[in-house]
Amino acid sequence: MIPNTAMPEIDGGTVVHLARGVRLREDMVRNQTVLLAPERAIALDEIAVAIIKEIDGHRNLDRIADDLSRRFEAPKEQILQDIIPFIREFINRRTMEIVG
Provide the CB-side half-sphere exposure for 78 (13 A, CA): 6
Contact 15, 100 (CB under 8 A): yes
Residue 1 pLDDT greater than 70, yes or no: no
Predicted confidence at residue 5, as pLDDT, reads 60
Domains in the chain, CATH or no CATH each: 16-94 (1.10.10.1150)
Confidence (pTM):
0.88
Predicted confidence at residue 92, as pLDDT, reads 95
Contact 33, 49 (CB under 8 A): yes
